[in-house]
Every structure is written in C-alpha cells, then in structure tokens.
C-alpha cells in the first residue's frame, strides 16, 4: 500500500461527534402514512382547513409519483409505511417565551454548542431550534419584531400570519414539484418562517438549528423566507442527528422569495449522521431548496458545507426572473467512508442581464461517491445572461469517486456561459512538505483541504466559517495518517 | 551533530545510496557535489524522512538521537530543515498561515508557548529582511504562481523562521539568476552560527562562491568517493567530474 493510502486509511476513522440521543417524553403520531395520519398531524397543529386540504392534495399527488432514480446514488428503498411522521417533545403548554421552555430541551442545544440563552449568545444571531418535528424555541423575537421582521416557527406563522403563509407557501417549490417535495408538503411538521418587510436590513444573522432525536422518525421541515423590496437577510442553517443503526429520512423544503432589490443569503452547514465506517445507518437527506429572484436587481446566494448524511440529494436553485437579478451557489461537499452525495444547483435565467455563479468543491475520501450535478438554463428572452461555473474535485485515496454532470441549455444567442472543472489529489508531496516543516499529517490535511475550500468558506458568516473549518478537519480526521 | 554511518538506501528495490559515511559538527558547512544521478538528492530526502526511500543498512544519529527512527515531522521539530529543490504549491493556504502552523507545532514539541498573532508577525517582519522577501508574497497562496526565484527565497525565509540546527539545501541554486543567488546566499550566511550546521547539495561550484564550505564531498554511484576543502570544488569546476569517475571506475575493475 502506498503512503497515500495508508494515510487515508487512518484518516477515515474518526467517530461522529453528535451521535448521542436523549430520552424525553414525546407526543407522536402512529407509525405509517395515510390520509388519517395527515389529518392527525394537521389537527395536532390546529391548522386551518385550507392547509389540511393543501396537504391532502399533495399526498394524493405523491401517491401517483415515482421515487426518482436518476441520481448517482444507490440505497435500499425507503419503506414509507414504516416511518413515523410526527414526534414532538411533550411540553405542558406552548411556551410563550424562552423562560417557559423546558430546560431539558434547551440543554440538548447547549450540548450541541448552541446556546439559546440570549445573553450568552454572541451578538448578532437569532436562533430557531427545531427538535424532531417541532420548533422548541426562537431567540431574539422581540428585538426583531421592533423592525417588523417576523422570525418564528412555521406553525406559529400559520396561526399568526396566515395571509403571508397562504400567499407564499408552494409559490417557489410547488407541492407537486418532485417526489420528496410532495411528500414534505403532505406531512411537514414545522420549520422556520422569516419575513423581512420592505426596506429593512435584518441586523443579525437568522439561524435555524435542526436536530433529529427520535428513532424511526422522518424529519420534514419547511422553511419559507420572504424578503420584500429592498430588504436584506442572511440566514443560517445547521443540522445534526444521533448515531443509529437504521437509516433516517430527512426531506425538507426551503423556499426563498426575493422581491425587487432584495438580497437573501442562505448558508447551510449540514452535519447529519453520515453512517458508521461500515456504512451502517446515517441520514437520507433528500432536500428541495429553491429561491426565486422575483424582482429586478434581486439576489439570492446559497452557500453550503455538506459533510454529513449517508445519502445526499440536494440542488439549491435560483430562478432568475427579475431583470439584472443574480444567483450564486457556493458548495463544499465532503464524503467519506460509504457516504454518497449527488448535489449541485440549477440556475434558471429568465430575466434580462441575469447573472449566475457556481463554485462547487467536492472532496471524496474512503469509499465514498461524490457527484456534482448542475443545470444552467437560459430562456429565450433572457438576453445577455451570464454564467460562470467552476467544479473542482479533490480525491483522497484511490477507492473513492468524483463525478461531474453539468447540463447546459441555452435558448438565447447572447448568453455567455463558462464552465471550468478540475480534479486533483492530495499529494504525498504536499503532505511531506508540511511534515518537513514540523506539521503533523492530520493538521497538514486540514490545512490543504481548508485551502482548497477557501473560496466557499469565505462566503460564510465569520462564526460559521470557523465552525465549518473545524468540521471539515473533523470529517476527514483519520483518513490520512 | 550529525553522524551518518554506512548508509544504504533504495527506491523500489533499486539501491541508490551504497554506504555513505559523513560527520557534520556544529558550526560547519559541508558541500555535497557530484554528477547527475549520483544520489545527492536521495541523501537529502532520506535525511528528511521521505518514505519512498527504504533504508536498507546503516545508521544516522542526530544530536544523539536515532534520526531514522523519527517521523518526518519529528525530525523537523528536532531541527532538521530541508530546503526543497522543487517546493510544492498548496492552493488556498497563505504562506503566513502555513508558517504559523509550522512554527507553533515546532514550538509545542519543544515545550514552548505558541506565538500569538502579534508576536508571530513581528518575528516574520524581522526575518523577512534576511531574504529581502515582500510581505505581499507571504499573503499569497503558498508557492502558487511563484517564480523559481521566489520559491527558493521563500524556502530560505521558512528556514529563518524555523531556526533549524541542521539545514540541508537541495540544489537551492538551480533556476536562480545571479541576483537571486546572491540574496539567497546572503540569507543563508546570516543564519550561520556556531550552533548550527549546513549541508549544501549542489551540482555546480557557483553557489560555493557565496556559501563557502568548510568541506567538500564528491558523491558518485551512491558513495562519497572524495572529500576535501573548498579547493576541491574549484578543481571540479575546472576539470569536471570525469576524472573522478575514471578514478573510481578503474579502481573498481582492478
């Protein structure tokens, strides 16, 4: 075995850090999926009739649909009748403020390093914490409310702001968009809702932290972000789950709406349990994320650091409808052991002078498979559309795979589309060079990988960038030695 | 400081070093010369611990320790520095960030406190003067897009930062114009002290006009076949390596 491989062998053996689970009393739906379950969920959440009907319509459509098989991933089919679709920690009554939230639940987040205590939190980040199916706490609500910003759980938004939810729900990702989006529309339980009124720049980062705790439970959250004219918001999302032998399903939908001159920045650090070294367990992460630059001069920027999940199927996309609108996608996807990721983006140019930029950095180690799948579509009336795509792959060892599937569809002769792709390996030479300067191999790999991913990491808010750097090092720890 | 006894090393089964003996004391400068393929760079790599080379026989002690028993990073931390002939590029990692990681890991090994950003930067400023290196170069990704001269200068700058007791310069003169050669040699000379030693591996005598060796050794077919003082280098410059090759080859056939 060459040194490279030995190095990688050892480097791929780090255990998942957030693999613990906690026992608490739960309120849960019976196992299985049918119209009765959907009615049960809707009733539990005291939803209005229109929403129940919306769910049922999604469910009926979903039943007619086929699970997609075009992604470059293989996994045993999910038995949707064996899952539980709702599980919530039991709380005596709905908490009105942070002080009323069960301290045990807050302790779960403390253990993950996410303090829900407003005084303790670093200035400038408001958090909505989602545990299994429901949102347990949202911080800094009062501060934000003064500016007219709504940041709350999705269930609360349904109750307090039904007109906004009704207007935007499904407007970017229609309930029938795809198999998992339809499933999510039928059974989604909670998530975050964020509304930035006209002319307001949100002064702090808004953040949602998702944690799956219950076994055999799917998490189907729904996030809706609306930025009115001239509004700005930066939104962060983080995810972890306990280590379990069975695969767990996570099928989320995120919708972003940006009006004229609005800007939304959406950052994700995804660290769902990736399965163990033998590929047992782990989260199936089948997510639909899409934003629409509805107004002129609007901008949506996706940044993602994907390190977890056994199987990832995710394409955060931008529909560039407004003239001069801009879509961006920055991604680092790391796969190790037996992880599989098929991720990328879609940039749909509809308006004139629209621009998109794609920077995708894949890192594959162990026996993992990492695919970039991206689509750039320029419609007929999108004159002067510009796209730049850069897809780099970094391979660690010789048993992993990196794949690139770019689709380009141009219907306007004035379009300029550029695509660059590179594949490289972490070289023995680079590691030896670092060693010769006194740097241990693990630190050398962390240094090299972070350097490689720098362009994407630079897009993250400061505090998140530091976390992401550590996470990259941790995910690959043990794969080089 | 360094004692090499009967060192044999091979790569993929092919023997390259066939019994090297060399003693280097603190304060000394040794030049290792020899024709292409004689094993000069292999010797430098084996001392630094590159794993493609297999040591089949012999021993190397460095400051009383068995050098061959140490991992490459520990050799570096003990004070062995190799200025590479072809320094690698590490995209996205600035020289500054790279060096700070290196300096602090070396310090940790030696039981010293890590340098904070302020102390590190002032140390950098001080050492930058030695090799007339520009700060702009150090904020760029390590060696990426550097010219040949910039890469070599950066190697000597790293050497200045890490303050090794034994520096091995592997063909540091290759690819340098006369000005860069002067700057690099100046740096090396200023770093010289009674406590450290330098091994200069070179093909040409040119570098030795600037870095004056106390001893010159000629390597041929994996052995040191001739040792002398700096005059030997001049002789080689004048006569080439053929006379040594003939001497050795005819002795072998007798």
Dump the DSSP string for A210-251. Answer: EE--STTB-B-BEEEEEE-TT-EEEEEEEEE----SSEEEE-
Q: Average pLDDT of A258-267?
A: 96
Would you give the end-to-end CA distance of chain A in angstroms? 13
Q: Average pLDDT of A100-127?
A: 60
- At residue A52, does pLDDT exceed 90? yes
Q: What is the pLDDT of residue A120?
A: 47
Range of the domain at A216: 20-426
Report the residue of chain A nearest B158, measured CA to CA: A437
CA atoms in the 13 A half-sphere facing the CB of B192: 20
Residue A185 lies in a domain: yes
More confident residue, A300 or A84: A300
Residue pLDDT, tens place only, A195-222: 999 999 998 888 887 766 666 667 888 9
Q: Sort A407 into a burial class: Cβ within 10 Å, 0-12 / 13-18 / 19+.
A: exposed
A447, B93 in Cβ contact below 8 A?
A: yes
How many cross-chain Cβ pairs, A to B, lie less than 8 Å apart? 76
A268, A208 in Cβ contact below 8 A?
A: no
pLDDT band with cut points at 50, 70 and 90 for residue A481: very low
Nearest to B156 by CA among B121, B115, B122, B200: B200
d(CA A382, CA A329) in angstroms, rounded, equals 20
What's the whole-model pTM score?
A: 0.82
Residue B101 lies in a domain: no
Q: What is the pLDDT of residue A122?
A: 47
> Both tokens of residue A131?
């545990």
Q: Residue B58: how many CB atoms within 10 A of its CB?
A: 18
Looking only at the bridges linking them, the beta strands covering A232-240 and A205-211 are parallel
Q: What is the pLDDT of residue A365?
A: 86
Candidate from B51, B76, B88 with C-beta closest to A438: B76
pLDDT band with cut points at 50, 70 and 90 for residue A31: confident
- Residues from chain A that touch B48, judged by Cβ atoms under 8 A, are 436
More confident residue, B54 or A281: B54
Give the helix/strand (H/E) hosting B239: helix B230-239
> Both tokens of residue A141?
């609500």
- Residues from chain B that touch A454, judged by Cβ atoms under 8 A, are 92-93
Residue A141 lies in a domain: yes
Q: What is the pLDDT of residue B173?
A: 87
Residue partners of B112: CB distance under 8 A and separation at least 6: none
B89, B144 in Cβ contact below 8 A?
A: yes
B81, B159 in Cβ contact below 8 A?
A: yes
Q: What is the pLDDT of residue A270?
A: 81
Give the helix/strand (H/E) hosting A328: strand A326-335
Is A434 within 8 Å of B106 when comparing Cβ atoms?
no
Angle at B83 between CA B79 and CA B84, to 5 degrees: 130
Work out the percent of chain A whose per-residue pLDDT is above 90.
Answer: 44
- At residue A8, does pLDDT exceed 60? no
Residue pLDDT, tens place only, A399-446: 888 999 999 999 999 999 999 998 888 888 999 999 999 999 989 988
Give the helix/strand (H/E) hosting B120: helix B117-130
Residue B84 lies in a domain: yes
A9: three-class secondary structure by DSSP: helix
Top residue of B70, B73, B154 to mutate, by most chain A CBs within 10 Å, is B73
Candidate from B88, B101, B106 with C-beta closest to A447: B101
Q: What is the pLDDT of residue A123?
A: 46
φ, ψ of residue A155 to 5 degrees: the values are -60, -40
B171 Cα distance to chain centroid? 8
A377: three-class secondary structure by DSSP: strand
d(CA A146, CA A148) in angstroms, rounded, equals 5
Residue A146 lies in a domain: yes
DSSP letter assigned to residue A31 = B
> Both tokens of residue A308?
């977890």
> Both tokens of residue B113?
């406190």
Q: Average pLDDT of A31-50?
A: 91
Report the residue of chain A nearest B89, measured CA to CA: A430
Candidate from B72, B93, B103 with C-beta closest to A436: B72
Q: Residue A429: how many CB atoms within 10 A of its CB?
A: 15
- At residue A133, does pLDDT exceed 90? no
Q: Report how far apart, in Å, the C-alpha atoms of A46 and of each of A219, B115, B136, B165 are.
A: 19, 59, 62, 75
d(CA A125, CA A118) in angstroms, rounded, equals 9
Residue partners of A77: CB distance under 8 A and separation at least 6: A67
Residue B248 lies in a domain: no
Q: Report how far apart, in Å, the C-alpha atoms of A209 and of each of A221, A239, A251 are.
A: 11, 6, 15
Residue pLDDT, tens place only, A88-112: 766 545 555 666 666 666 666 666 6
- At residue A174, does pLDDT exceed 60? yes
Q: What is the ipTM of this complex?
A: 0.95
Residue B121 lies in a domain: no
3-class DSSP string for chain B: CEEEEEEEEEECCEEEEEEEEEEECCCCEEEEECCCCCCHHHHHHHHHCCCCEEEEEEEEEECCEEHHHCCHHHHHHHCEEEECCCCCCEEEEEHHHHHHHHHHHHHHHCCCCCCCHHHHHHHHHHHHHHCCCCHHHHHCEECCCCCHHHHHHHHHHHHHHHCCCEEEEECCCCCCCHHHHHHHHHHHHHHCCCCCEEEEECCCCHHHHCCCCCEEEEEECCEEEEEECHHHHHHHHHHCCHHHHHHHHHHHHC
Q: What is the pLDDT of residue A22?
A: 64
Sites in chain B below the pLDDT cut of 50: none
B36: three-class secondary structure by DSSP: coil
Q: What is the pLDDT of residue B37?
A: 87
Q: Average pLDDT of A140-151?
A: 86
What's the CATH code of the domain at B27? Answer: 3.40.50.300
Does A443 lie at the interface with B, CB-CB under 8 angstroms? yes
- At residue A474, does pLDDT exceed 60? yes
Helix A3-11 with A441-452: angle, nearest 10 deg: 90
For chain A positions 99-138, those within 8 Å of chain B (CB to CB) are none
Is A438 within 8 Å of B98 when comparing Cβ atoms?
no
Bridge partners (DSSP) of residue B224 are: B219
Range of the domain at B39: 2-88+149-239
Residue A92 lies in a domain: yes
Chain B residue set in contact with A, beta carbons under 8 Å: 48-52, 71-73, 75-77, 81-82, 84, 87-88, 90-93, 97-99, 101-103, 105-106, 109, 141, 158, 162
d(CA A404, CA A388) in angstroms, rounded, equals 15
- Residues from chain B that touch A455, judged by Cβ atoms under 8 A, are 92
Report the residue of chain A nearest B77, measured CA to CA: A438
Candidate from B51, B77, B101 with C-beta closest to A3: B51
Residue A172 lies in a domain: yes
Residue B93 lies in a domain: no
What rounded mean pLDDT belongs to chain A?
Answer: 84
- Residues from chain B that touch A448, judged by Cβ atoms under 8 A, are 90, 93
Q: What is the pLDDT of residue A315?
A: 94
Total domains in chain B come to: 1
Total domains in chain A come to: 1
Is A452 within 8 Å of B91 when comparing Cβ atoms?
yes
């Amino acid at each position: 075995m060459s040194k490279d491989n030995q190095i990688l062998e050892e480097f791929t053996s780090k255990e998942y850090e957030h693999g613990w689970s906690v026992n608490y009393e739960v309120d849960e739906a019976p196992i299985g999926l049918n119209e009765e379950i959907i009615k049960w969920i809707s009733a539990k959440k005291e939803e209005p009739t229109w929403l129940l009907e919306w769910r049922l319509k999604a469910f009926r459509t979903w039943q007619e649909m086929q699970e997609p098989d075009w992604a470059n991933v293989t996994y045993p089919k999910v038995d949707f009748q064996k899952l539980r679709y709702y599980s919530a920690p039991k709380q005596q009554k709905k908490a009105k403020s942070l002080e009323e939230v069960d301290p045990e639940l807050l302790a779960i987040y403390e253990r993950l390093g996410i303090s829900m205590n407003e005084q303790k939190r670093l200035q400038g980040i408001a958090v909505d914490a989602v545990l299994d199916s429901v949102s347990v706490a949202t911080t800094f609500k009062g501060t934000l409310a003064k500016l007219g910003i709504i940041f709350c759980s999705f269930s609360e938004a349904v109750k307090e702001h039904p007109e906004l939810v009704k207007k935007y729900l499904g407007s970017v990702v229609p309930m029938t968009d795809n198999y998992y989006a339809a499933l999510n529309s039928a059974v989604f339980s909670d998530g975050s809702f964020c509304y930035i009124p006209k002319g307001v720049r949100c002064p702090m980062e808004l953040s949602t932290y998702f944690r799956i705790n219950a076994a055999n439970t799917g998490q189907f959250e729904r996030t809706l972000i609306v930025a009115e004219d001239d509004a700005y918001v930066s939104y962060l999302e983080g995810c972890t789950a306990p280590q379990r032998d069975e695969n767990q399903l996570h099928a989320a939908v995120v919708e972003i709406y940006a009006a004229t001159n609005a800007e939304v920045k959406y950052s994700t650090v995804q660290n769902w349990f990736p399965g163990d070294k033998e590929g047992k367990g782990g989260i199936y992460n089948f997510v639909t994320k899409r934003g629409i630059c509805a107004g002129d001069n609007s901008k949506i920027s996706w940044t993602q650091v994907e390190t977890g999940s056994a199987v990832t199927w995710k394409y955060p996309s931008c529909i560039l409808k407004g003239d001069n609108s801009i879509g961006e996608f920055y991604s680092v996807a790391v796969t190790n052991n037996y992880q599989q990721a098929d991720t990328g983006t879609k940039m749909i140019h509809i308006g004139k002078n629209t621009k998109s930029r794609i920077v995708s950095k894949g890192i594959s180690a162990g026996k993992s498979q990492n695919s970039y799948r991206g689509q750039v579509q320029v419609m007929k009336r999108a004159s002067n559309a510009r796209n730049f795509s850069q897809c780099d792959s970094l391979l660690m060892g010789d048993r992993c795979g990196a794949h690139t599937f770019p689709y380009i569809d141009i219907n306007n002769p004035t379009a300029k589309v550029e695509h660059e792709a590179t594949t490289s390996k972490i070289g023995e030479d680079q590691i030896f060079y670092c060693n010769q300067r006194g740097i241990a191999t693990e630190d050398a790999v962390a240094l090299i990988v972070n350097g490689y991913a720098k362009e994407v990491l630079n897009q993250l808010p400061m505090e998140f960038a530091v976390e992401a750097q550590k996470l990259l090092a941790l995910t690959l720890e043990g794969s080089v030695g | 400081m360094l004692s090499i006894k009967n060192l044999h090393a091979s790569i993929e089964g092919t023997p390259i070093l066939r019994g090297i003996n060399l003693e280097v004391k603190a304060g000394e400068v040794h030049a290792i010369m020899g024709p292409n393929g004689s094993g000069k760079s292999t010797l430098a790599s084996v001392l630094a611990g590159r794993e493609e080379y297999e040591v089949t026989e012999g021993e190397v002690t460095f400051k009383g320790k068995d050098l061959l028993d140490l991992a490459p990073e520990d050799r570096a931390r003990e004070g062995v520095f190799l200025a590479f002939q072809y320094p690698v590029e590490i995209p996205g990692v600035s020289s500054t960030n790279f060096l700070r990681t290196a300096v602090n890991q070396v310090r940790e090994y030696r039981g010293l406190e890590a340098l904070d950003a302020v102390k590190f930067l002032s140390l950098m400023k001080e050492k930058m003067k030695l090799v007339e290196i520009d700060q702009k170069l150090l904020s760029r990704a390590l060696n990426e897009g550097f010219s040949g001269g910039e890469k070599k200068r950066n190697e000597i700058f790293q050497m200045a930062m890490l303050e090794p007791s034994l520096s091995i310069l592997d063909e540091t003169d290759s690819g340098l114009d006369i000005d860069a050669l002067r700057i690099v040699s100046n740096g090396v000379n200023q770093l010289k002290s009674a406590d450290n030693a330098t091994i200069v591996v070179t093909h040409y005598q040119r570098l030795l006009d600037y870095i004056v060796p106390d001893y010159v050794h000629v390597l041929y077919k994996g052995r040191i076949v001739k040792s002398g003082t700096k005059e030997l280098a001049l002789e080689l410059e004048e006569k080439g390596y053929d006379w040594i090759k003939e001497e050795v080859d005819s002795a072998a056939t007798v």
